[in-house]
Structure formats: C-alpha cells, structure tokens
Amino acid sequence: MPVFRTLSKVAKQALLSTPGCSCQPLTVAVRNISFSPRQVTSDASFHSVSFSETDHPKVLITGGLGQLGVGLAKLLRKRFGKNNVILSDIRKPPSNVFHSGPFIYSDILDYKNLREIVVNNRITWLVHYSALLSAVGEANVALARSVNINGLHNILDIAAEHGLRLFVPSTIGAFGPTSPRNPTPDLCVQRPRTIYGVSKVHAELMGEYYHHRYGLDFRCLRYPGIISADSMPGGGTTDYAVQIFHDAIKSGKFECNLRPDTRLPMMYIDDCLRATLEVMEAPVDTLSMRTYNINAMSFTPEELAQELQKQMPELDVTYDVDHVRQAIADSWPMNFDDSNARKDWGWKHDYDLPELVQTMLNFFGAETLMARAN
C-alpha cells in the first residue's frame, strides 16, 4: 500500500507538471489492492461477496462468549459445518466451548487484529454480538461508548471493505419514553435514555447508511428480552426473567428488582437464534427494510411468577425495586409490532409463556438430577 501511494503520487505530479497538458490527475482503482472505507473516494461503492447455493458462508461471531454467541455458533455449525463458524471474544473460553469448534481471540477495538482475522479466515458473514448491556453500560458509560460505538465503526469499515454480510442486533432499549409503547412499530420516534440504547440507534442508522451509501449487506433485528437456561444473566434490565429460574431452583425464593406490573416483550433463546439465521438467509429482494422488530410474548414479573408457581407452588417472590432499572424498563416498549418481519421473511415464534416456563424447568430439572448423580 505505501508503494502504491508513492507511485500514484509521482504519476500525479508528473502529469500536473507537464506544460500544456490538459490531462486530469491520474486516478487508479485500488479495490483489488485493499482499502478501507476510511480511505475511499466519495463515489466508491461496495458489493457483498456472493456465493453459490452449494457453498457455505464462513462466519465470524464477535462477543461469542455472551448469552447468544455460543448458542448461535452451535446452530450455525449444525447448518454449515463445524469449521465454518468461528467464535471470538477477549475472554478465555470454558473447555466445552473451546473444544466444540474454532475459537480465536478478537478485540473489536483493535482494527488491525479484526481485519487480519477476516482476511486470514476468508470470512463472508460477520455476526457482531460484542456490546455492554443496559445496566452495565450505565455503570461505565465511557467503556460502553468505546465498545458499543467505536467497536461498531471498526466492524462496519471491515465489513464494507471485504463485502461481508453483516448482522448487528438491536434491542427494545433502542426506544425511549416518547416512543409508542403498546405496540411499538418498526419506524417511530426512538430517543432512548441509556448509552446502550443510544449506541444501538447509532448502529441501526450507521448500518443503514453503509447499506445505502456503499451497498453493505447490513441486517439487524431488534431483540426483545432474551431468556435462556444455559447462561447466567449478563447485566440487562430484562435479566430478572432468567434469574427467577436460577433462584427458584436453588433456594425457592426470588427477589425481583422491577415492579410486578412492568410489562416487557420477551423471547426464548431458541426463537431468537432461529430468527437470526432466518433473516441472514433471507433473499435480499424479500427485505423491505434493514432493521426489523421481532417478538414472541409480552409479560410482567407477576405473570411470570404466577406461571412458574403453577409448577412450583412453594416459590416465594418478593419485590425490591431498583429505581435505575425500573426507569429504564419504563422507557421501553411493552409490546413489539413485528408484522413486517412476519410478512417479509416469514418470521413466526414457537414459544409462548407456558412453553417457556416448562422448557426452562425441564432444563434445570435435568441439570439438578445430573449434579446429584455426580
């Protein structure tokens, strides 16, 4: 690249210094040599790499050790093959994750490191899960801004440069107190009040800008609260809906940090991961937009506790409201309108509240039996 720039500069100076020459300055296409959107001209255009139906995408998942990364890797490896899906994170993976398929260190704030990974592994799909969640982000705004915004810029530039299909999740936290709450449509006023929400609106808009400006194949789903049995809560406002199962099995008691009547949209993790795969595989011509709401159910802490108490009558639920988390929850949608996702690419959820509770209890029941046997 330095050699190329030097040659281009010399040629340009030679043309400009030639007496009577009406030639324009020399312009050389640099796409095949390598570039970054940080260096491109105003009329540049990017196009996603296409692959035949017999080829599998090569997938990189950032933030892979979070709530969703391991589960998505398992689903994609079953679909595309074990070695075609690479998990990455800045943390050391547990043994079972390390031995389940390719894992590499990747810091999204290190542009050079991320670029090398994409090039060396011939990545075609990038799933960007690295982020600080709502409550954690409010406790460390500077770090959340760095990871959620600066890290995203690295991801966008590299995805555009290498023609990747890019998935970046958004969230119910991308809406604010002035948004319509019941239901919340795909397009409306957002104005979130948390750094997490602000960064997700930024991601939605930047992804759509790169799509329209550079042709980046950007795809985004606004996730509701995600409930899963095989991962611990990660600092989100909706994590009470996971913690209640852990505490119910462990002690038979649960203290909720939200009011009992706080209604929020929720989804079981299997539905969430399947929706992610489906939108990534959806033909381009079926997508009427680049950011979609998806939904499955909507419930309050009280309704979840009552459904759980049908199976565990002895469960004791109390409430000690965390005012920071409650203020966040009160600014979020009560219910998502996901009619566009259902119409455009056939989204349909499988789990409602009764199925969710039974599935979670089945998982923890089997886990408890195994622990006792061991």
Which 8-state DSSP code applies to residue 184? Answer: B
For 127, 133, 288, 334, the CA distances from 179, given in Å and listed in that order, are: 28, 20, 22, 11
Of the candidates 122, 128, 125, 179, the residue with the CA atom closest to the CA atom of residue 150: 128
- Number of Cβ atoms within 10 Å of the Cβ of 314: 8
Q: What was the pLDDT predicted at 59? A: 98
Antiparallel, parallel or unpaired: β 85-89 and 103-105: parallel
Given a cut of 60, whether residue 369 has pLDDT beyond it is: no
What pLDDT was estimated at residue 38? 66
Structure tokens at 31: 């796409």
Q: What is the DSSP letter of 57?
A: P
**What residues have CB less than 8 Å from 342, skipping those under 6 apart?**
348
Residue 40 has pLDDT above 70, yes or no: no
Query: Using one digit for the tens of pLDDT, what is the confidence trace for 51-87?
Result: 444 489 999 999 999 889 999 999 999 999 999 999 9
Residue 67, pLDDT score: 81
**What is d(CA 127, CA 207) in angstroms, rounded to the nearest whole number?**
13
Query: pTM here?
Result: 0.83
Beta bridge pairs of residue 218:
166
Residue pair 72/78 in contact (Cβ under 8 Å)? The answer is no
Is 218 a residue whose pLDDT tops 80?
yes
Query: Which structure tokens are listed for 53?
Result: 């139906």
Measured between alpha carbons, how far is 202 from 188 in angstroms, rounded to an integer? Answer: 15
**Residue 217: which of 125, 151, 150 has the closest Cα?**
125
pLDDT attached to residue 42: 44
Q: Give the span between the Cα atoms of 219 and 292, in whole angstroms.
A: 9
Convert the pLDDT of each residue in 260-286 to its tens digit.
Answer: 999 999 999 999 999 999 999 999 999
Q: Please state, for a pLDDT cut of 70, what percent of the chain lies above it.
A: 83
With 90 as the cut, is the pLDDT of residue 97 above it?
Answer: yes
Would you name the residues annotated as active-site residues? 196
Per-residue model confidence (pLDDT) at position 231: 72
CA distance to 48, 162, 207, 219, per residue, from 119 (Å):
15, 8, 21, 21
pLDDT tens track for 156-180: 999 999 999 999 999 999 999 999 9
Distance in angstroms (rounded) separating the CA atoms of residues 176 and 63:
26
Percent above pLDDT 90 for the chain: 75
Interatomic CA distance for residues 203 and 152, integer angstroms: 7
The whole-angstrom separation of Cα 329 and Cα 327 is: 5
Confidence band, pLDDT 50/70/90 cuts, at residue 259 = very high
Confidence of residue 48 (pLDDT cuts 50, 70, 90): very low
DSSP character string of 266-299:
EEEHHHHHHHHHHHHHS-GGG-S-SEEE--SEEE
Average the pLDDT over each of 46-50, 182-186, 352-356 and give the range with the smallest value: 46-50
In this prediction, residues 128-134 reach a mean pLDDT of 90
Question: Do 134 and 235 touch, CB atoms closer than 8 A?
Answer: yes
Can you read off the two tokens belonging to residue 219?
A: 């795809």
Q: Is 348 helix (H, G, I), strand (E, B) or coil?
A: coil
Is beta strand 217-223 parallel, antiparallel or unpaired with respect to 103-105?
unpaired
Average of per-residue pLDDT values in the chain: 87
Q: How far is CA 28 from the centre of its chain?
A: 37
Which DSSP state fits 65?
T
Question: Is pLDDT of 204 > 80?
Answer: yes
- CATH 1.10.10.10 for domain 16-37+47-230+267-297+334-351: no
Q: Is 220 exposed, middle or buried (0-12, 13-18, 19+ CB in 10 A)?
A: buried
Domain boundaries, the chain: 16-37+47-230+267-297+334-351
2 preceded by a cis bond (ω within 30 of 0): no
CA 287 to chain centroid, in Å, comes to: 18
Residue 246 has pLDDT above 80, yes or no: yes
| Residue 234: predicted pLDDT | 66
The pLDDT of residue 107 is 96
Give the pLDDT score at 135: 79
Provide mean pLDDT across the span 314-323.
96
- The neighbouring-strand residues paired with 145 are none
Dmax (CA) for the chain in angstroms is 94
Task: For residue 32, give every residue at least 6 positions away whose Cβ sits within 8 Å of its Cβ, in sequence order, or none.
Answer: none
Confidence band (pLDDT; 50, 70, 90) for 26?
very low
CA dihedral for 268, 350, 334, 312, sign (positive or negative): negative
Which of 56-60, 120-124, 137-141, 260-264 bottoms out in mean pLDDT, i.e. has the lowest? 137-141
221 half-sphere exposure, CB direction, 13 A CA radius = 28
